A and B are shown apart, each in its own frame.
Chain A
Amino acid sequence: MASQLLDVKGLNCPLPILRAKKALKDVAIGGTLEVLATDPGAVKDFEAFCRTTGNELVSSKEEGKVFSFVIKRTS
């Protein structure tokens, strides 16, 4: 289970990424954030976001039309 949850369902690019960046500031290093999103570009966007920010994308799942990502804050 992620330590924090961010629900950005219904929001379009770039808001899910901006909200995730903001939420990650409140996650302790080593802690995790779960993000729920419906933006169709979210899977590739969150992969790229984690790669460029150096955070770890622990999991990426799709259930129905909702994508869920678990991001581990690494620094």
Chain B
Amino acid sequence: MASSPLYIVLCSGEHEKLQMAAMMASVGAVSERPVEVFVSMNAILAFAKDAPAADARYQGGAFSKLLKEKRAPDAITLFRQGKALGDLKLWACSMALDVKGWELSALVDDLFDGALGLTKFLSDAENGQFITL
């Protein structure tokens, strides 16, 4: 059954929003809904390959503490599972990479499908459901 694709713009670096994006992306993908995630602004910092351990990678508020205490699944792991089990693509915002002076190789391995400009992402998203976090 073909569902309308889901397009997520992820720009917050807050743990809670990264976690929610990872949950939506993975559940959408395994529910046979194509999902594309455009990662920009502070969010891209959480995907740095050289980021410290998970506890320091994900910074947030009260609920972030609970997620860590309860050992909720790691957001990057959820994105990876969504990719393995469904049609999920992650794009790194080309502007964000440029401003940081990063290449794609600065981001965690085996997650991003490439770098993309916002104009292309918005154009692709014309006929899908659009969510910003």
Q: Which of B73-123 contact A (CB under 8 A)?
A: 73, 78, 81-82, 84-86
Flag whether A29 is at the interface (Cβ < 8 A). no
**Which A residues are closer than 8 A to B by beta carbons?**
12-15, 17-18, 21-22, 25, 48-49, 51-54
CA distance A36 to B31 in the complex (A): 19
Chain B residues lying within 8 Å of A54, measured Cβ to Cβ, are: 1, 32
Flag whether B27 is at the interface (Cβ < 8 A). yes
> Do A52 and B23 have beta carbons less than 8 Å apart?
no
Chain A residues lying within 8 Å of B84, measured Cβ to Cβ, are: 22
> Do B31 and A22 have beta carbons less than 8 Å apart?
no
**What 15 additional pairs, Cβ within 8 angstroms, besides A14-B26, A14-B78, A21-B85?**
A13-B23, A14-B73, A15-B73, A17-B30, A18-B30, A18-B85, A21-B86, A22-B81, A25-B85, A48-B31, A52-B3, A52-B32, A53-B30, A53-B32, A54-B32
Chain B residues lying within 8 Å of A15, measured Cβ to Cβ, are: 73
> Do B72 and A49 have beta carbons less than 8 Å apart?
no
CA distance A13 to B27 in the complex (A): 9
CA distance A25 to B31 in the complex (A): 13
Chain A residues lying within 8 Å of B15, measured Cβ to Cβ, are: none
CA distance A54 to B81 in the complex (A): 20
Identity of the chain A residue whose Cβ is nearest the Cβ of B30 in the assembled complex: A21
B82 vs chain A, min Cβ distance (A): 8
| Among A12, A18, A21, contact of B72 (Cβ-Cβ < 8 Å) | A12
